Amino acid sequence: MHTSPVFRPLPSLAGARAESVPGVKLQKLRRAALDAREAFVKEGPVAAIATCELITFPYPAQFAFSGAALSPAPYVMMTNRMQVVQFVDREGERRTLLFNPSDYEKGVAAPFYRALRERYGAFVSDKVMSSRHGTVQSHLASLGLTPADVDYIAFDHLHIQDLRGWLGGDGLPAYFPRARLLVQRAEWEMVKDLHPMQTVWFVPGGAEIPQERVVLLDGDVWLGQGAAILSTPGHTQGNMSLAVATSREVFVVSENGVATECYTPLQSAIPGVRRYAEHMGWEVVLNGNTREDSLDQYTSMVVEKLFAGTSAVEGAFVNFHPSSLLTAHLMAPALSPTIVLPAPNFGDVRPTPAARRAA
Angle (CA) 139-141-147 rounded to 5° is 100
Q: Please, which residues have CB within 8 angstroms of residue 163's CB and are 6 or more apart in sequence?
A: 103, 169, 181, 206, 207, 209
Q: Is 157 helix (H, G, I), strand (E, B) or coil?
A: coil
Burial class for 37, CB neighbours closer than 10 Å (0-12, 13-18, 19+):
buried
Q: What is the pLDDT of residues 55-64, one digit of tens each?
A: 999 999 999 9
* CA 241 to each of CA 128, 304, 320: distance values in angstroms, whole numbers, following the listed order: 31, 8, 10
- Band of residue 291 on the pLDDT scale cut at 50, 70, 90: confident
**How confident is the model at residue 241, as a pLDDT?**
98
Cβ-based neighbours of 116, under 8 Å, separated by 6 or more: 58, 125
Higher pLDDT, 345 or 352: 345
Q: Mean pLDDT for the chain?
A: 94
Three-state secondary structure call for residue 180: strand
Beta-bridge mates of residue 131 = 56
- Rounded CA-CA distance 128/135 in Å is 19
φ, ψ for residue 102, nearest 5 deg: -70, 130
pLDDT at position 356: 67
Is residue 359 over pLDDT 80? no
The whole-number average pLDDT for the span 303-313 is 97
Core vs surface per residue 97-115: b (16+ CB within 10 A) or e: bbbbbbbbebbbbbebbee
Integer Cα distance of 319 and 261 in angstroms? 10
How many CA atoms within 13 Å lie on the side-chain side of 132? Answer: 12
Amino acid at 80: N
pLDDT in tens, 90-112: 999 999 999 999 999 999 999 99
DSSP per-residue letters across 70-116: --S-SEEEEEEEEEEEEEE-TTS-EEEEEE----HHHHTTSHHHHHH
**pLDDT tens figures, 178-235:** 999 999 999 999 999 999 999 999 999 999 999 999 999 999 999 999 999 999 999 9
Band of residue 1 on the pLDDT scale cut at 50, 70, 90: very low
pLDDT of the residue at 3: 42
Model confidence at 357: pLDDT above 80 = no
Categorize the per-residue pLDDT at 353 as very low, low, confident or very high, splitting at 50, 70 and 90.
confident
The DSSP bridge pattern shows strands 214-217 and 221-224 to be unpaired
Full-model pTM:
0.96
Task: Assess whether pLDDT exceeds 50 at residue 44.
Answer: yes
**What pLDDT is recorded for position 116?**
94
pLDDT of residue 358: 66
pLDDT of residue 290: 82
Residue range 47-54: mean pLDDT, rounded: 98
